[in-house]
A and B are shown apart, each in its own frame.
Chain A
Amino acid sequence: MAIDTETINAVEKATKDYKYGFVTDIETEFAPKGLSEDIVRYISSKNDEPEWLLEWRLQAYSKWLKMTKEDPKWANIHFPEIDFQDAYYYAAPKTDAEKPKSLDEIDPEILSTYNKLGIPIREQEMLAGIVGSGNVAVDAVFDSVSVATTFKSKLSELGIIFCPISEAVKKHPDLVKKYLGSVVPQTDNFYAALNSAVYSDGSFVYIPKGVRCPMDLSTYFRINAAETGQFERTLIIADKGSFVSYLEGCTAPMRDENQLHGAVVELIALDDAEIKYATVQNWYPGDENGKGGIYNFVTKRGACRGKNSRISWTQVETGSAITWKYPSVLLQGDNSVGEFYSVAISNNKQQADTGTKMIHIGRNTKSTIISKGISAGYGQQTYRGLVRMQAGAENATNFSQCDSLLIGNNCGGHTVPYIDSKNFSAEVAHEATTSKISDEQLFYCQQRGLNPEEAVALIVNGFCKEVLKKLPMEFAVEAQKLLEVSLEGSVG
């Protein structure tokens, strides 16, 4: 759909300096295939980690071994058994010699996707890993190794720490030790255990007491080396009375082998602090027959640990062959607020099982869930949400709205809300709708001059508006384009 030109201009202006800022040389180096205690030690030594962290990883690894049979089977997704011994768990960036020399060497299909998304040439080169192109002013995770960050000095004046978690381990070990695994325990689930054992790197953020982070912090994830599992680890701590908005965005090039992605994100908000976490996820979903594509098994959880704290998750999920993801909030502090705003698209053979958990523990805690699921082609999508009111959650309230939009007759949208209330004063309200894009709507839009794809994109954008408006502007623009590209071929 058409996006306001002034919006784009404003975004370009706002992000120009932000997106390009440092140069990095990338080389690739693989650990041998498969998973063993040696691989865990290898990753740990590559990152030059202290003993306590190695111990922590090994502990997770031994727990994971015992969990192997507990692979989540309840989700409404179907995929062949993953052979965990047939993947690489560590890949450092490629050498110049291995990298493509120009965009001419890149798969035209990938380039056409970049163009449709309106990604500038410079950034396309960077995404495609062209020699000497790596310029991005965010904490970029190139495969597994985090590369430098630019705004560090500006942020450090305010006492804000924003760096690769591998660096935080060395420079701020007390913070990492105190909070790592404190929201998502090692044994939380199969993939969280795996991540704890083999995570390669990720981002670390600490906002000191009373500080409002003056800019959106972003991480640009991508998956680059073939057959490399990605295990990012993100840890964000907002100290008392602080505020931070964090953006995570992904694009991935085309590939044939299914790739496993098992990130863990932990957020901690102390008294009166607020964390906003937004994701635009656009990993390769596989071709129209479902071949290839990313398996995205992610554990994201925030803890509103302090009173009056707030955590919001906003996500736009258009990519991946399989998505299994439930960003959740533990509402521990009295009067704390948890929010979940989600748009998820399943087109072609994509499968998504996503939702949230709001666990109300403190008094007067409040949560809002707005989920917009869009299914097209043969896509299957399930919203799975849990709202739990613990015995101590006096006067807690939840409002959930789950809407499904179906495009065509071969897709499916499913809503599975679990409600578990142990407190009589708590209120839980759940609304759900399922609708289809009608032929009348498509005709009306086309009669006004939109082509069928623009018509679908416009209607879908309208359907998702409540969520899209929660995104920071630069992300909202990107998300709108993504919706259009993701739904290509869904009509006509």
Chain B
Amino acid sequence: MTIALEIKDLHVEISDKEILKGVSLNIEHGEMAAIMGPNGAGKSTLASVLAGKEGYTITSGSIKYLGKNLLDMPIDERAAAGVFLAFQYPVEIPGVATSAFVRTALNAQRRHRGESELDGIEFLKLAREKAKELEMSEDFFQREVNVGFSGGEKKRAEIFQMSMLSPTLAILDETDSGLDIDTLKIVAAGINNLRSDKLCGIVITHYQRLLEHLKPDTIHILADGKIVKTGDKSLAILLEEKGYQGIIEAA
């Protein structure tokens, strides 16, 4: 396996406060990496910087994805290159039907990559297939993006969007929080369906339950802006027992 995503000594500030203090992380093709860590450690910050959100100052370090310098690319270009972020707090877009939103996004990405756009019929066929996999009712195609969705519905809709857009770098920020046990299983199965040697995944979570379903290849602990420990799935079990404090102190 070769390295797909290479984060090197990344330092990030928000309004003059350093949040990421030298994060280095390599993810191989087909690898599923989990990132765990205490509240406020910088996990979402890392996810946002990967996706290209504005408002962060990269003071040093680099991010390479498939040989390209990600930090030089605008947000939409990164998306077209395969970067997908499932938001910890998905955003509402009033008045825009979910299906229209996803179709606009998918076709924008396809145009960007020089591929032909999907017409209404092709799109609907694909959307129905994916909705079925995620056991979602088609009613939600016409619902406005995230408006009035329950917490769990929002997370499930994020995974629906992800499966429609079929990214190669998927960053899931606490997709499991707010999901009931049954929905968690369905969502995990949805994510597992997308796994291939083309996809690298970064799963940010606080709980071991999602990881039981996803069986990540690696687990990293991010604390106070740094990766303090890296291991396999036994690390998550250790964490459940000892808590972050125990592990950080031992590190």
Whole-angstrom distance between the alpha carbons of A438 and B92 in the complex? 10
Residue contact A4 to B87, C-beta cutoff 8 Å: no
Whole-angstrom distance between the alpha carbons of A466 and B94 in the complex? 11
Q: In the complex, how many angstroms separate the beta carbon of B149 from the nearest chain A beta carbon?
A: 14
Residue contact B96 to A444, C-beta cutoff 8 Å: no
Residue contact A448 to B91, C-beta cutoff 8 Å: no
Whole-angstrom distance between the alpha carbons of A441 and B96 in the complex? 12
> Interface on B for A, CB 8 Å cutoff?
51-55, 74-76, 79-80, 83-85, 87, 90-96, 101-109, 112, 117, 119-121, 144-145, 161, 165
Residue contact A446 to B76, C-beta cutoff 8 Å: yes
Residue contact A458 to B101, C-beta cutoff 8 Å: yes
Residue contact B95 to A463, C-beta cutoff 8 Å: yes
Residue of B nearest to A438 (CB): B91
| Given contact pairs A446-B74, A448-B105, A458-B93, a sample of 19 additional A-B residue pairs in the complex whose CB atoms are under 8 Å apart | A2-B107, A6-B119, A441-B91, A443-B54, A445-B93, A447-B52, A447-B79, A447-B83, A448-B79, A448-B161, A449-B165, A450-B76, A450-B108, A451-B108, A461-B96, A462-B95, A462-B96, A462-B144, A466-B95
Residue contact B108 to A449, C-beta cutoff 8 Å: yes
Residue contact A443 to B75, C-beta cutoff 8 Å: yes
Q: A-side binding surface: helix, strand, loop or mixed?
A: helix
> Which chain A residues lie closer than 8 Å to B96 at the CB level?
458-459, 461-462, 465
> Which chain A residues lie closer than 8 Å to B76 at the CB level?
446, 449-452
> Which chain B residues lie closer than 8 Å to A459 at the CB level?
93, 96
Given the known interface contacts A445-B93, A462-B94, the answer about A4 and B120 at a Cβ–Cβ threshold of 8 Å is: yes
Kindly identify which residue among A1, A444, A450, A463 contacts B94, using a CB–CB cutoff of 8 Å: A463
Q: In the complex, how many angstroms separate the beta carbon of B152 from the nearest chain A beta carbon?
A: 19
Whole-angstrom distance between the alpha carbons of A462 and B91 in the complex? 14
> Which chain A residues lie closer than 8 Å to B119 at the CB level?
5-6
> Which chain B residues lie closer than 8 Å to A446 at the CB level?
52, 74-76, 79
Kindly identify which residue among B101, B104, B117 contacts A5, using a CB–CB cutoff of 8 Å: B117
Residue contact A450 to B105, C-beta cutoff 8 Å: yes
A452-475 vs B, Cβ < 8 Å mask (1 yes, 0 no)? 101000110111111000000000
Residue of A nearest to B96 (CB): A462
Whole-angstrom distance between the alpha carbons of A440 and B92 in the complex? 9
Whole-angstrom distance between the alpha carbons of A2 and B99 in the complex? 12
Whole-angstrom distance between the alpha carbons of A448 and B75 in the complex? 9
Residue contact B91 to A449, C-beta cutoff 8 Å: no
Whole-angstrom distance between the alpha carbons of A299 and B161 in the complex? 47
Q: In the complex, how many angstroms separate the beta carbon of A237 from the nearest chain B beta carbon?
A: 36
Whole-angstrom distance between the alpha carbons of A461 and B96 in the complex? 7
